[in-house]
Amino acid sequence: MLLNAEGKVFVGQRLDNALEAWQMPQGGLDPGESAEEGALRELEEETGIARDLVAIIACASRQLDYDLPEDLQGKLWGGKYRGQRQTWFLCRFLGSDADVHIDTAEPEFRAWKWAEPNELPAMIVPFKQELYRAVLAEFWEHLQPAP
């Protein structure tokens, strides 16, 4: 979860989804990579935001997970997985909007914006709404604008 100075959260609209759904950046770990290293790498790969423009504020106290709906199980990720278990980090964006470049080497988003934290569950695909509520609960005390 990436916060700007106004306390809003970065969300991107995926290229591979026809729905008007927005999501926070996420991704998997490379072999030998820590969760923190993976989070910063994925954030840079998906948003073009350099790592030196991001400060980690907190890590969720537990891993959070979600299951795919039955109609998607077996179709996504080569049918190997029925959902995901994720480690979430809350990060502060230290740059400006000009530092965001979603036109990366392998773009994942067609658009991006800053959203109010409490709007996030309604913006994501329905099967991830409970996950986003759990992420918000984990970081709620930190979801304030920077001084």
CATH number for the domain that contains residue 135: 3.90.79.10
Q: Give the per-residue pLDDT at 84.
A: 77
**Is the pTM above the cut of 0.75?**
yes
Which domain range does residue 95 map to? 2-142
Residue 12 buriedness (CB in 10 A; 0-12 / 13-18 / 19+): buried
Q: Does 22 reside within a domain?
A: yes
Q: Are 26 and 88 in contact (CB under 8 A)?
A: no
> What is the number of other CB atoms lying within 10 angstroms of the CB of residue 25?
22
Q: Bridge-partner residues for 11, per DSSP?
A: 113
Looking at per-residue pLDDT, the higher value among 21 and 40 belongs to: 40
Q: Confirm whether 59 is domain-assigned.
A: yes
**Tens of pLDDT, residues 29-73:** 999 999 999 999 999 999 999 999 999 999 999 999 988 777 666
At position 131, the amino acid (one-letter code) is L
Q: How far apart are CA 22 and CA 109, in angstroms?
A: 9
In angstroms, the first-to-last Cα distance of the chain is 19
Instruction: Please tell me the total count of domains within the chain.
Output: 1
Q: Give the pLDDT confidence of 72-126 residue by residue, as tens digits.
A: 666 555 555 566 789 999 999 999 999 999 999 999 999 999 999 999 999 998 9
Residue 19 within a domain: yes
